[in-house]
Amino acid sequence: MNLKKLYTQSSSAGDGGGNSESAELAAAATAAMDIVEEFVGSLNHRRLYREATLALRAGLRDARAEFSFLRVRGLRCILNFLHSVADSDEMIQLFCLTQSLADLQVVPVLFRHSLREIEEDRVINLDRIFTEDPMKLTSPSTNTEVALALRVLEGCCLVHRQSTIVAHQQKAIPVLMNILSSRGVWEQGACLDALIALLLDSTANQMDFEACNGIEEVAAIIRDKQVDEKVRMKCAEFLLLLIGHVDAREMQAMATIHSDIRRLLGEKPASLIWAASQFGSTLDPEERMTSLKIQARRVLESLDLFGV
């Protein structure tokens, strides 16, 4: 009887020891798995960062080229990269990290090479031509190059909000207003989209836009029936988006925008724009774009109807 009790006790002690050892092994295995997963995640993060920097370096190298066709190739590369970045929060963070490095910043390259003023290409001193060292010539920006550069600028500002500050340092608003008034349909449409991206949550750019009489310029294009209808529609969409944003954020930098639109376009179009901006939309992106185009069409029809 006593032997039986001793055997039972020893068996119970043995089982308890086995359970504790199993728990310790399971805990050690879990810790090891966590370490492995962290290590794999670190390697994957480094791989993504390396791919991002390589893509940016390749695109920026061509975007700095002397010939327009090479700059177009570089801009397309950067634009494709931005499209892929927008689908992943991790890639967005990596892109923002790269923009803290001077040699990988995209926005300054755009304004130095593709969006530079035409006057910068003029030869001021003939001595530069007759010197022993050959003068470096750069081909002018084509319409395709300007439009692509504006799309890249828009993407950078939407993905990386600090890019709006860099763009302000490059005097982006005056440059874009010049493009809006002097370029073709494709560039004007891209310019209006880039302006919206620049003005979002950027008081400095909004003040520049007001200083450049931006509302007056856009309203003049809308009123001009000789302008391509696509551009007029795009300008109406621009005002609808801008008014909606100002109403939502109560921006002080453009506090007179409502009265300016009423003065420039008339009471009826201004009322339509204001009413459209008062209702938040729960529609999906495609339906919102359709609704925006319908509202822009109504603004143009009211202008044509009342002969503004």
Which 3-state string (H, E, C) describes 83-111? HHHCCCHHHHHHHHHHCCCHHHCCHHHHH
Q: Residues near 133 by Cβ (< 8 Å), separated by ≥ 6?
A: none
Highest average pLDDT, of 41-50, 91-100, 127-136, comes from: 91-100
Residue 243 confidence (pLDDT) above 70: yes
Residue 189 confidence (pLDDT) above 70: yes
> What is the percentage of the chain residues whose pLDDT exceeds 70?
78
Q: Which of 193, 154, 166 has its CA nearest to residue 112?
A: 166
Highest average pLDDT, of 89-103, 113-127, 290-304, comes from: 89-103
Q: Which of 141, 143, 147, 157 has its CA nearest to residue 82?
A: 157
| Cα 3–chain centre separation | 82
Query: What kind and span of H or E run contains 24?
Result: helix 2-63
Rounded distance between C-alpha atoms, residue 108 and residue 153, angstroms: 10
Residue 119 confidence (pLDDT):
46
Residue 259 confidence (pLDDT):
82
Rounded distance between C-alpha atoms, residue 271 and residue 47, angstroms: 53
Rounded distance between C-alpha atoms, residue 162 and residue 83, angstroms: 18
CATH class of 28-120+140-212: mainly alpha
State the average pLDDT over residues 256-263.
82
Residue 195 confidence (pLDDT):
95
pLDDT bracket for residue 270 (50, 70, 90) = confident
Q: Which of 145, 237, 127, 244 has its CA nearest to residue 187?
A: 145
Residue 152 confidence (pLDDT):
97
Rounded distance between C-alpha atoms, residue 277 and residue 239, angstroms: 10
- Phi-psi sector, 135: left (phi>0), alpha (psi -120 to 50), beta: beta
**Lowest-pLDDT choice from 46-50, 86-90, 161-165, 283-287:** 283-287
Residue 8 confidence (pLDDT) above 50: no
Contact predicate 185/227, CB 8 Å: no
Per domain, the residue ranges of the chain are 28-120+140-212, 213-308
According to DSSP, residue 308 is labeled: -
Rounded distance between C-alpha atoms, residue 276 and residue 272, angstroms: 6
**Lowest-pLDDT choice from 149-153, 171-175, 200-204, 229-233:** 200-204
Give the N- to C-terminal CA distance of the chain in Å, as an integer: 112
Residue 308 confidence (pLDDT) above 70: no
Look at 197 and 13; give whichever has higher pLDDT.
197
Residue 123 confidence (pLDDT) above 80: no
Residue 3 confidence (pLDDT):
45
Rounded distance between C-alpha atoms, residue 52 and residue 62, angstroms: 16
Q: Residues near 208 by Cβ (< 8 Å), separated by ≥ 6?
A: 168, 171, 172, 173, 174
pLDDT bracket for residue 281 (50, 70, 90) = low
Residue 283 confidence (pLDDT):
62
pTM: 0.79
pLDDT bracket for residue 88 (50, 70, 90) = confident
pLDDT bracket for residue 198 (50, 70, 90) = very high
Residue 103 confidence (pLDDT):
92
Mean residue pLDDT of the chain comes to 81
Residue 1 confidence (pLDDT) above 60: no
Q: Which of 113, 102, 89, 92 has its CA nearest to residue 57?
A: 102
Look at 78 and 116; give whichever has higher pLDDT.
78
Residue 125 confidence (pLDDT) above 60: no
Residue 190 confidence (pLDDT) above 70: yes
